[in-house]
Amino acid sequence: MKTAIIYHSHSGITKNVIQKIHDEISADIIEVTPIHPYSSLMVIPKGCYRALRGLHDSVLPEKIDVSAYDLLIIASPVWAGKPTPVINGGIEGLTGCQGKHAFVLLTCKSTESGEQALISMVERLKAKGISISGTVVLDQAGSIEIETIQTVIRDISSL
């Protein structure tokens, strides 16, 4: 099974989880980054404003062709109870995704907020023709607990 991990991470928590998954799962890894990065001053007002409205940022890579992959692992932090405008930009640029399967991973401070963001993320992926094979929301503790991450790895491996 050919797997691609596509993720955004602003402050490194999601990236750290993804690296642990990538250590155990054979996959291509693609980090989505904003063309205009958020400064520490603007990330809350501008990032939350854009996330709340479901906007998508201009990102690199601009397009990601996933036609060669069987499974996509899509990961993002939660901003204002929503997926980030950066991962929205990454999803917007996916091509060849009709009929593909995705495992969605979100990191956040509060699980409740993460579960809310998951709804938007799943809708966005489904609109691209992607089926959801599994999801996980990791709060601050879960994002660094090795046992929790091992469980996520087992869940992904069983797909």
Single out the segment in contact with ligand FMN by CB under 6 A; choices: 4-12, 22-30, 64-72, 93-101: 4-12
For the window 64-103, what string marks contact with ligand FMN as x by the rule CB under 6 A? -------------xxxxx----------------------
Cβ-based nearer residue to ligand FMN, 5 or 101: 5
Lookup result for tokens 């992959």:
69
Cβ-based nearer residue to ligand FMN, 16 or 96: 16
- Report the site for ligand FMN in 123-152 (rule: CB under 6 A): 143
25 binds ligand FMN, rule: CB under 6 A: no
Single out the segment in contact with ligand FMN by CB under 6 A; choices: 3-11, 22-30, 90-98, 118-126: 3-11
Q: Which of 65, 52, 72 is nearest to 125 (CA)?
A: 72
Residues that bind ligand FMN (CB under 6 A): 9-15, 43-44, 47-48, 77-81, 107-110, 113-114, 143
